[in-house]
Structure 1
């Protein structure tokens, strides 16, 4: 057998077999316990109680928690904070003192919301230092279930912008009692503790994963509830009814003062429908409210290898400071940002393609000279007139246009290595930067041929060097953190080029980094996935006030 034949044979070993379904042993034994699974070919129940169920999707091998039909999350119409509140609940179980610190850090923000909340209820205008506001703030600290909810609201505030709708139900104890959220939260905490004690799971409030071994990576467990978590300090602080529900897996008793009884559609369905029909939505955009709130988080970041993307800086400056090594995965600037001190690597996204163009509308001026060779292309015309349309027309990432974009970015970021289908070695790790500004699903075959060709050239003969691949848009669905339930998810963007997976198997590729989809930091900034016959990491670290970067070093060390 020739060397080429041996290489092809090694690669073939890692190619997926058609229609192959691998049911994790920990779940397979539970499928038969639930009769409903006989008529469910895809979503199989593996654990449930009165209000929630854990299901396993046999198509994409994923786990998810969902409510059983009768349970209502919130009586507040269009309440979008459920995942944030669930994640805050998990963090409370893991580190109640951390949740309290988060609340105290945001005291000024909470007081502003309380001023607006009191006005919404009573029409009374009070100041932030008034007795009414101090009393309402203390009420939050005295009620753990409300404290968890407010923490979730603040996480949403920091990631998506200020809140405006039904603030009283979200921040005032007396009004929050009517929303039913405390009852929902009590049952949710009850369920996740039961589930993690029954199955080898990690739950962060949004994502559910199986533990790979009896000694899982501590980095994975840091923000996840599992059987290894010590929740005793949190239990001691929660209301007695919630403690009993968790400890004994019994239905929660009802105490009107705390109101941990959930809202059920069977009892309140007509009332909730009437409330929604007559609901008048608030129309204040978060951007208009943002100036009223200060950023209480530090802009300084001391990560040794700091990963960020989708910063979209609008004031000409980066909104964070890190003087170590940074990995910027595109869409950094919307205001011609310059930073001559930041060090690291940078791959371009879609917004860089616009941000580097001259501001003058007169294309006859000298500043347009270097761009004139692209004027004849439809995609370039669209880029200057209708950027949203241009994103579907852009050339594949080896086009000369991206070289000119790199020149412009290099002038603004003198100490950054702008990797336009190039590699750089830093502290023994090879970083390959691929130019994939957007997910060109319509050109999937051509894009993946470009990826395979470029990786073959850049990986070369050194199969042992630890390697990380960085791009703005994810390479394809298999190496993306975007959830299949997202509106942005396109099921067609799959890896159809077997040579890519074989390449991942053959070389010491530790993981990939991407941005593009604006996945909230609270959702998950990294995951371990199976690809190329091995486990590797996927990191997506979108900028927000609560996330000025992800520390890649610990993840690299665990992989190496």
Structure 2
């Protein structure tokens, strides 16, 4: 199974569908919108379909659709519960492949037993062993309750992608405590809505994204990815509780808005005061994921067989790469926080922010000969800050044509002898040209200087060959238009847009087919690529952040389109 963006539960209940910026409103959506009078006073987010608890809306500005729960329905009584998208994805996968969800959970049994041991301690204060009767009983309870099984699968996806969980484990993993959270009711109503929606409009829904099926035969192509009208959910129906099964069967024959209540959902109108008290008195019981990591073993394969493998932001802390790929890799920065070296990995390497510290000498004695190559930069304020407080130095860094990056490049090349460090350089692999630009961070306040650097570097590296397929690679995205970071993210800055028209002209003139970046730690579950409109053409944008369930993205799937 494949699966942070760290949304911090910003009331974001959206699953986005990107349409071309110039796309006209599909007639089937226009017809649906006409059924809802409230759309006359809504200039942007138009209702397309709804029921008592959920709605599908269409954003007329960015031509996107989103599923959102209505204000009265509570997803979880657990404060700061960030697993909504993971659990929704697990719910869709349970409808499609319940047996795979069960196998996924069984694969993680040792991980679950650790969580259950800690959960029991949080509730009772008693320390039990992982092989105790209490833990085995709690584990079996998960397998006997499909709505809890869906939740656990989602939590494990989050664990694999973002690191160990630590807060309010009892409510997340123990059936006796989970029934108080309202999540089961939320899942039930969510399943009702998406089944009804998929049978009313030609859509593919995967728990995070919603895709409009416009091309003939596209339903069959996307059948395995998410829920469509052609999905066979009979196996899941036979396993779900009777009240949920009945609601889904009703949804299958429904053709318009309906009120389908199966399990008791948690509603703010009824429990608002109690929820406020819970949040006011909340004790997280949290430890940092880095501290908890050592107690969990990775149950996934570290081998990756992608032919052109894109991955970034590994932040390795044990001196080695955590995955194996013997084909062509594109490492888009922030790979190492522990002086990683690998003599066998091949491909291209982009300089990220963390490399700038990782390549510096271990000794603090700056009279040592190891510091000789760095001495020309000692007088720079940004370099002094980099040595003392790196987190404060990122936005002081010089633009990517500075001699400092040449020294960084040489250090990385020595550690990765079969990699090509693309410090404002290009490389052709399998008839595709990759241009690597050194953009360690997004310099929003110095956007003009940054974009002047991008322009000059591209003018030099693109050269005279306008026909060869070209991919632009950088650690931080070039600008918002070619970034996978959504506007709903706290890290998003609306000012980081392309304001240099000559860059757009270059994209028009040359056969630039896509852009790759890292930096923003966008999880695989949020999506790893999109198609974007820029300079009058359709380009792919890829961001593939490392996690245990994501050791890279296969770029060949986009290069061959």
What TM-score does the superposition give when structure 2 sets the normalisation length?
Answer: 0.90
Matched, 1:555 2:558: yes
1:104: Cα distance to partner?
A: 1.0
Aligned to 1:486: 489
Q: Choose 156-165 or 536-545, whichever is displaced more.
A: 156-165
SS at match of 2:445: helix
- 8 Å contact from structure 1 (residues 469, 513) kept in 2: yes
Aligned to 1:295: 298
Separation in 2 of the partners of 1:223 and 1:488? 29
Aligned to 1:8: none
Aligned to 1:81: 83
Q: Which digits, 9 at most, give the CA deviation of each residue in 1:27-79, with x for residues without a partner?
A: 33333322222222222222211101122222332222221111011122222
1:236: Cα distance to partner?
A: 3.2
Question: Considering only aligned residues, what root-mean-square deviation do their CA atoms show, in Å?
Answer: 2.2
Aligned to 1:262: 265
Q: Which digits, 9 at most, give the CA deviation of each residue in 1:135-169, with x for residues without a partner?
A: 22122112221111001111111222222222222
1:382: Cα distance to partner?
A: 1.9
User: Given the alignment, which residue of 481, 505, 508 partners 1:505?
Assistant: 508
Aligned length: 535
Seen in structure 2, the aligned counterparts of structure 1 residues 352 and 121 have a Cα distance that, compared at 3 Å, is same
User: Any residues of structure 2 matched to 1:470-485 within 5 Å, and which?
Assistant: 470-485=473-488
Aligned to 1:311: 314
1:318: Cα distance to partner?
A: 0.9
- 8 Å contact from structure 1 (residues 424, 431) kept in 2: yes
SS at match of 1:350: coil
1:378: Cα distance to partner?
A: 2.0
Aligned to 2:200: 198
User: Any residues of structure 2 matched to 1:430-509 within 5 Å, and which?
Assistant: 430-509=433-512
- 8 Å contact from structure 1 (residues 245, 251) kept in 2: no
1:221: Cα distance to partner?
A: 6.1
Separation in 2 of the partners of 1:527 and 1:20? 16
Separation in 2 of the partners of 1:48 and 1:253? 14
Separation in 1 of the partners of 2:24 and 2:389? 45
Aligned to 1:321: 324
Seen in structure 2, the aligned counterparts of structure 1 residues 460 and 28 have a Cα distance that, compared at 3 Å, is farther
Separation in 2 of the partners of 1:392 and 1:219? 44
Q: Which digits, 9 at most, give the CA deviation of each residue in 1:176-221, with x for residues without a partner?
A: 2221101101111221222233333333322334345234498866
User: Given the alignment, which residue of 278, 282, 285 partners 2:281?
Assistant: 278
SS at match of 2:395: coil
Matched, 1:414 2:414: no
What TM-score does the superposition give when structure 1 sets the normalisation length?
Answer: 0.90
User: Any residues of structure 2 matched to 1:275-424 within 5 Å, and which?
Assistant: 275-424=278-427
Separation in 1 of the partners of 2:444 and 2:199? 41
- 8 Å contact from structure 2 (residues 316, 336) kept in 1: yes
Matched, 1:30 2:32: yes
1:374: Cα distance to partner?
A: 1.7
Seen in structure 2, the aligned counterparts of structure 1 residues 22 and 440 have a Cα distance that, compared at 3 Å, is farther
Separation in 2 of the partners of 1:225 and 1:476? 33
Aligned to 1:231: 233
Aligned to 2:152: 150
Aligned to 1:120: 122
- 8 Å contact from structure 2 (residues 523, 545) kept in 1: yes
Unaligned 5+ segments in structure 1 are 1-18, 255-259
